[in-house]
Amino acid sequence: MHAEWLPTILQGSSSEIYVLNYNTLRFEYVNPSACKNLQYNHDELSAMSPTCIARDVTQEAYAQFIRDLQNDSNTSVSISTQHTRKDGSSYPIEFQLFYLASDTTPAIIAIGNDVSSRYKSDKALRASEARLSTMVSNTPGLVYQFRLRKDGRFSFPYVSDGCEALLGISSEKLCDNPTLFTGLILHQDMSSFRDTMRISAEQMSNWNWEGRIWVEEWKDIKWINLRATPRALDDDSVQWEGIMTNITASKLEQEEIIRSRAQLAELSAHVNTVKEQERTRIAREIHDDLGGNLTAIKMALALLTRRLPTKSPELYEKAAYVESLVDRTIETVHRIAGDLRPGILDFGLVAAIDWQSKEFEKQMGMPCEFVSNKAEIDLDMDQATALFRIFQEALTNIAKHAQASLVTVQLMHTPQYVRLEIIDNGRGIELADRAKPKSFGIRGMVERSVALGGSLSVSTAPKGGTVVAINLPLPTRPVSDNIQTNNIGH
């Protein structure tokens, strides 16, 4: 190195550079960066020694450092200390001391750097780690990192202390042997675990998986939820940071709710079946007993009327009144029996809906157009009755609330399902109307459709009004029934 370069290097360096007299430990040279940091000028520092600014290092300690350097001139000594400025403030600094031999007077060269920024960063990092540790320790679950390498191997770089409470495995064992985790997953749920992980890795989307694990130590099955966010690493591996939680209680509650709803739907279906059977029985007794008795009364009354004295107009008038009363009673009996169990259902669902559409049009004075893609639809009596009751309830709702001027009814039959649509051009139905506490009409229709294994939807028609649609899946026909139509390629 050219000697003339040295002053420029010393002047321009951002490090603090000191040259100390070997015998007196006085500063013989201090570069501008040191003067600036310490707030002293060169003349002031010339009258000082290192212990004046590094007050936590004694003169004896410096003497020992120098002896160590003198004994091995090829080494340096590291010192971490605090420098005190002229205004009394201090800052951390790290030094390297070098021994410079000389024929006249040897010197000590000290090169130091202010590490305040690093100390602040370290302090902030420790505080952040402490906050993270506190949050992790209070998190109701297992916080983890999961890394998937390109070759398919995986590992757990980090696992929180909640590991053993959730999985029955210590965090150390899981980090050492990550396959212990997949060994817990039930075979039935392993494919969904792999599929969701693959999709998350390919799309860099959040990984959300629910599945069951078997903890041998507790002889117990647990439901766990895994949620994690992926990020790509430089080695083409993917790492997720996330949390696993025990959702067994909520899953059991959910299963209980589903089971309760199924039992409720089963009970509702049974009630509807019993109700229809009771209606049929009552309708039959009314038709057979009351209808038969009224018919017999009408015949007996006709016989008596013919035998009345010809000169008794008052008796003829009374007889005529009684006969008209019997006729009206017979009509009432037929109407009640028909309401309880429409005899038109004996002619099939298509005929029954067509008849009810015409009755609605006649009673309400509102056009009710009915179309069907089949002249006859073969359903068992329970299914046909349930669909017919849903249709009746829909028409009742239209009459009460829709303020419509036209109703269109479509009945479609395919090999897979039967679909009934009731469309009106009225004011429509709001979600709030459906959620009313005593809105039992739509709820009853839904329960009937669910009991049939179908579904019911209520939506807004394209041109306004409401569409009530019922889909009823039909049983799949045996393969032998379809040989004629499905033998392409055989």
Domain map (residue ranges) of the chain: 9-120, 139-246, 256-340, 344-477
Q: Name which residue leads in pLDDT, 56 or 410.
A: 410
* Dist. CA 81–CA 63, nearest whole Å: 16
Specify the length of the chain in residues. 490
| pLDDT tens sequence across 47-98 | 888 888 988 888 888 888 878 887 776 678 888 899 999 999 999 999 888 8
* Dist. CA 365–CA 289, nearest whole Å: 34
Confidence of residue 138 (pLDDT cuts 50, 70, 90): low
User: What letter represents residue 43's amino acid?
Assistant: D
Confidence of residue 487 (pLDDT cuts 50, 70, 90): very low
Name the pairing type of β-strands 368-372 and 407-413. parallel
Query: Once rounded to an integer, what is the mean pLDDT over residues 440-459?
Result: 82
User: What letter represents residue 442's amino acid?
Assistant: I
Query: Once rounded to an integer, what is the mean pLDDT over residues 396-403?
Result: 89
Region of 456 please: left (phi>0), alpha (psi -120 to 50) or beta. beta
pLDDT, residue 206, reads 95
3-state secondary structure of 399: helix
Cα→Cα distances 283→12, 160, 288, 305, 350, Å: 111, 71, 8, 31, 22
| pLDDT tens sequence across 266-285 | 777 777 778 777 877 887 77
| pLDDT tens sequence across 434-448 | 555 556 677 778 888
Confidence of residue 486 (pLDDT cuts 50, 70, 90): very low
Tell which residue, 80, 89, 119, 105, has the closest CA to residue 25: 105
Q: Name which residue leads in pLDDT, 30 or 486.
A: 30
* Dist. CA 31–CA 364, nearest whole Å: 106
Tell which residue, 88, 248, 237, 72, has the closest CA to residue 154: 237
Query: Which of 166-180, 335-349, 437-451 shows the lowest per-residue confidence on average (mean pLDDT)?
Result: 437-451
Q: Which helix (H) or strand (E) holds 443?
A: helix 440-451
* Dist. CA 324–CA 322, nearest whole Å: 5
> pTM score > 0.85 for this model?
no
User: By CB neighbour count within 10 A (0-12 exposed, 13-18 middle, 19+ buried), where does 311 fall?
Assistant: exposed
9-120 classified as CATH 3.30.450.20: yes
Report how far apart the first and last C-alpha atoms of the chain are (Å, whole number).
92
139-246 classified as CATH 3.30.450.20: yes
3-state secondary structure of 125: helix
Q: Indicate whether 480 pLDDT > 50.
A: no
* Dist. CA 126–CA 439, nearest whole Å: 60
Q: Indicate whether 295 pLDDT > 70.
A: yes
Write the DSSP symbol of residue 185: B
Tell which residue, 285, 295, 303, 425, has the closest CA to residue 341: 285
Confidence of residue 401 (pLDDT cuts 50, 70, 90): confident
**According to CATH, what is the number of the domain 344-477?**
3.30.565.10
Confidence of residue 489 (pLDDT cuts 50, 70, 90): very low
Query: Once rounded to an integer, what is the mean pLDDT over residues 332-336?
Result: 81
- In 35-176, the DSSP E strands lie at 77-84, 90-100, 107-114, 142-148, 154-159
Tokens, residue 452: 């049939």
Let me know if the fold of 139-246 is the same as that of 344-477: no
> What residues are paired with 30 via a beta bridge?
18
Q: Name which residue leads in pLDDT, 189 or 97.
A: 189
Tokens, residue 363: 């009673």
User: What letter represents residue 138's amino acid?
Assistant: N
Q: Give yes or no for a contact between 204 and 232, defined as CB atoms under 8 angstroms apart.
A: yes
- The values of phi and psi at residue 446, to 5°, are -65, -45
% of the chain exceeding 70 in pLDDT: 89
3-state secondary structure of 309: coil
Q: Indicate whether 488 pLDDT > 50.
A: no
Name the pairing type of β-strands 142-148 and 107-114. unpaired
Contacts of 251 (CB under 8 A, 6+ apart): 210, 223
Q: Which helix (H) or strand (E) holds 207?
A: strand 207-215
Query: Once rounded to an integer, what is the mean pLDDT over residues 158-168?
Result: 89
Tokens, residue 273: 């079946």
| Radius of gyration, CA atoms only, the chain | 47
* Dist. CA 395–CA 386, nearest whole Å: 14
- The values of phi and psi at residue 229, to 5°, are -115, 130
Contacts of 338 (CB under 8 A, 6+ apart): 283, 344
Confidence of residue 39 (pLDDT cuts 50, 70, 90): very high
